[in-house]
Amino acid sequence: ENERSSKHGVVECDERDVIQRIVLNGNGLKGTLPLELRYLTNLKSINVQDNHLYGTIPPEWSSLASLDSLVLSHNALTGTIPSELASMARLER
């Protein structure tokens, strides 16, 4: 696996340069969770804990069929976990 990192986070790719993992915890990120992540269908892990993110979890993220880890704690997110995500078979509970 390829790992591209900086002091601000890690983006890990497979041998075909397909993004597998995004780790951006504690980066002071502000704003809402990007709907566009739904297009990264091979993504296995997202960690954006300990930032300043707000709003809701996009139900469209349910298209991330390979996702097995989603870490969103220590942000200002509101609402409930979308039922579409709750039914994702690979996602750890």
Residues 51-76: tens digit of each pLDDT: 999 999 999 999 999 999 999 999 99
Indicate if the pLDDT at residue 93 is higher than 80.
no
Q: What is the average pLDDT across 22-34? A: 95
Give the confidence band of 2 by pLDDT, cuts at 50, 70, 90: low
Q: What is the pLDDT of residue 28?
A: 92
- Give the Cα separation of 7 and 2 in Å (integer): 16
pTM: 0.86
Torsion sign (Cα): 70, 76, 77, 79: positive
